[in-house]
Structure 1
Amino acid sequence: MAYIDYYKILGIPKTATVDEIKKAYRKQARKLHPDLNPNDKVAEQKFKELNEANEVLSNPENRKKYDKYGENWKHGEEYERQSQQQRQNRSAQSGGFGGNQFGEGEDFSDFFQSMFGGSGGFGGQSFRGSASNKFKGQDVSAELTLSLRDAAKTHQQTFDINGKKVRITIPAGVSDGQKIKLKGHGNPGHNGGPNGDLYITFNISPDKDFKRIDDNLFADVDLPLYTAVLGGEVLIKTLDGEVKLKVKPETQNDTVVRLKGKGFPVYKKEGQNGDLLVTYKIKLPTNLSTKEKELFEELQKLK
């Protein structure tokens, strides 16, 4: 299970009061509420995480468990019971005298190891000694910011995790807010257990030329008045470069033209792209000469 930093989700310090938690929740809830972000899967997921963070941190008991046990906070009572049982077992083993109690010269991780196959000190085996006391290391979360154009191509990125260089291949088509899992690239396991996992969340920066919705791209293109009236050609920017597009005579403002397959790559589907939808914005001429004004006046009379 990946560690979720509820404090980070709410944007508050660990010392925040209950009132500060409620205030932070209300502020973000107004921005992420599904009614204000229809059909936005990313906002929907963030809203769910926000609610989860608020439910845990606004409850003093749950918050106490979360601060102590992290992602395992729901099992806090189970851990406490196991801790008590271990103390009783160790006390019985030593006849109630001089037994090493939990928390007295004993690693905190030993307690967790005892929950997964530990012998508890009976049968001639020590509390630490069983080779089966292996459990997974802590998962690690990281964020990676990409430009829209970088997210549109398969490429490699290098991370520094726990002092080690980890190179990953990012497939074309990743989305803003998308999370991927890299197995075994988290923190080291305990007592020979497997490493935790690395979870990477992608943040895609806005682009000056395109707006992305799912796998489609949207762009506004200035169209000279004369080209709109008489027809002609216009150069359109795409992710692959410029293409020349024919413009029909008497094209109206806000006309939308769809360029099939010129949109964003479909995630993990090589060779498949969404569409590019171009909206024409007719640009009126300025600084007209006397002759140009006269010609427009003649056109006005003809109409």
Structure 2
Amino acid sequence: MEYKDYYKALGVDKKATTDQIKKAYRKLARQYHPDVNPNNPEAERKFKEVNEANEVLSDEEKRRKYDQLGADWQRYQQAGAGAGAGRGSGGFDWSQYAQPGGFNTADFGDDTDFSDFFGSIFGNRGGGRTGGSRAGAGSDYQAELELTLEDAYQGGPRTLNVNGKSLRITIQPGVEDGQTIRLRDQGGPGRNGGPNGSLYITLRVLPDPRFARNGNDLTQEVQVPLYRALLGGEQVVETLAGPVKINIKPETQNGTRLRLRGKGFPVYKQEGQFGDLYLRLTVQLPQQLTDQEKELLRQLAALRNA
């Protein structure tokens, strides 16, 4: 009989806390769930493996017994592994671990197939749980929520419907496109007293025609009239924080970049911290010139060529 390394199956240390084990299990169960991996035997095998590991390591008594067995496993093999209960040829007392009555995977429901190793240690009821069914976490739900760039900038309450249930959540300022929010206990109901699953909400921040976002920084194209670019002056720029006056220096060239500190995007969960706003100035040429304007430009051209 093959020894099962449950810690390795969940990718956790032997000193892992209950919360760390639970977190690792949820992540792997989502990754290998049959609904996500239809007709994938390897994913099905991994799903059963992490379920079995969680069944043991999430239960204090089972984990204690399993850890004790781990220290004695080499002695058990040397004594004649698989010989059944009682003392093997090497004097190892397997009866302190082996359970009478055999092992029936049907006792745990159709979605569970525990190994002979598990059954030999914990018996046909998985350690005394009644009713022939083990407790299990509910399914995790997935949802998406669309936000404008201004929504992501400001944050605040939002309402969405998931499986016929209306949920009100609070968006923190500074969220990014593709970011996922987890709501505990808002997923599917647990089995036989197990915890409810979680709801994972993926945020979709829609593109904005005015701003390009790069992390916490924003870039904005600003058109500057030709005469202001040549002579200088003030110009009002619309930012997500409201209108701001900027100073255009005389003889500003097309493509000039200006940096407005702290006028970018809020830093997620860092209150009072903001990225920067970069302005790319585009000189706007006048159209539909009058005869007088054309004459003035001819005079300017003549002066420049003198």
Identify whether the pair has TM-score above 0.5, normalized to the shorter chain. Answer: yes
Give, in angstroms, the shift of residue 139 of structure 1: 1.5
Which residue is equivalent to 2:170? Answer: 169
* One-letter code aligned to 1:147: T
Which residue is equivalent to 1:120? Answer: 124
Which residue is equivalent to 2:16? Answer: none
Give, in angstroms, the shift of residue 215 of structure 1: 0.5
Poorly superposed stretches of 4+, deviation over 6 Å: 77-80, 114-118
Over 3 Å counting, the alpha-carbon distance change for 1:158 and 1:118 in structure 2 is farther
Over 3 Å counting, the alpha-carbon distance change for 1:275 and 1:118 in structure 2 is same
**CA displacement, residues 144-189 of structure 1 (integer Å, 9 cap, x when unaligned):** 1110000011211223334433221110000011112222211111
**CA displacement, residues 191-246 of structure 1 (integer Å, 9 cap, x when unaligned):** 10111111111111001211111001110011000000001111101112212211
Which residue is equivalent to 1:301? Answer: 302
Question: Does residue 190 of structure 1 match 2:191?
Answer: yes
Residues 65 and 76 in structure 1, CA contact (< 8 A), matched pair in contact too: no
Which residue is equivalent to 1:246? Answer: 247
**CA displacement, residues 17-37 of structure 1 (integer Å, 9 cap, x when unaligned):** xxxxxxxxxxxxxxxxxxxxx
Alignment gaps of 5+ in structure 1: 8-13, 15-52, 81-91
Q: 2:110 aligns with which of 100, 108, 111?
A: 108
Give, in angstroms, the shift of residue 254 of structure 1: 0.6
Matches of 1:229 and 1:101, distance apart in 2:
83
Matches of 1:119 and 1:271, distance apart in 2:
58
Matches of 1:189 and 1:154, distance apart in 2:
32
Over 3 Å counting, the alpha-carbon distance change for 1:295 and 1:193 in structure 2 is same
Residues 93 and 122 in structure 1, CA contact (< 8 A), matched pair in contact too: no
Give, in angstroms, the shift of residue 137 of structure 1: 1.2
Which residue is equivalent to 1:149? Answer: 150
SS at match of 2:301: helix
SS at match of 1:302: helix
Residues 32 and 47 in structure 2, CA contact (< 8 A), matched pair in contact too: no
* One-letter code aligned to 1:170: I
Matches of 2:151 and 2:276, distance apart in 1:
18
SS at match of 2:297: helix
Task: Map 1:1-303 to 2 at 5 A.
Answer: 1-2=26-27, 3=30, 63-66=40-43, 69=44, 74-76=46-48, 102=106, 107-109=109-111, 119-120=123-124, 128-129=131-132, 133-303=134-304
SS at match of 1:120: helix
User: TM-score scaled to structure 2, two decimals?
Assistant: 0.63
**CA displacement, residues 72-130 of structure 1 (integer Å, 9 cap, x when unaligned):** x52447889xxxxxxxxxxx969xxxx99849xx9424657x9799751599x787347
SS at match of 2:221: strand
Residues 120 and 126 in structure 1, CA contact (< 8 A), matched pair in contact too: no
SS at match of 2:124: coil
Alignment gaps of 5+ in structure 2: 1-25, 53-99
Cα RMSD between the aligned structures?
Answer: 3.7
**Percent identity of paired positions between Structure 1 and Structure 2:** 42
Matches of 2:101 and 2:196, distance apart in 1:
34
Residues 118 and 128 in structure 1, CA contact (< 8 A), matched pair in contact too: no
Residues 120 and 127 in structure 1, CA contact (< 8 A), matched pair in contact too: no
Residues 171 and 268 in structure 1, CA contact (< 8 A), matched pair in contact too: yes
Over 3 Å counting, the alpha-carbon distance change for 1:5 and 1:163 in structure 2 is farther
Matches of 1:286 and 1:187, distance apart in 2:
62
Matches of 2:129 and 2:195, distance apart in 1:
23
**CA displacement, residues 244-269 of structure 1 (integer Å, 9 cap, x when unaligned):** 21111000001111111111111011
Residues 218 and 276 in structure 2, CA contact (< 8 A), matched pair in contact too: yes
Over 3 Å counting, the alpha-carbon distance change for 1:121 and 1:4 in structure 2 is closer
Give the stretch that moved more between structures: 178-187 or 204-213. Answer: 178-187
SS at match of 1:128: helix
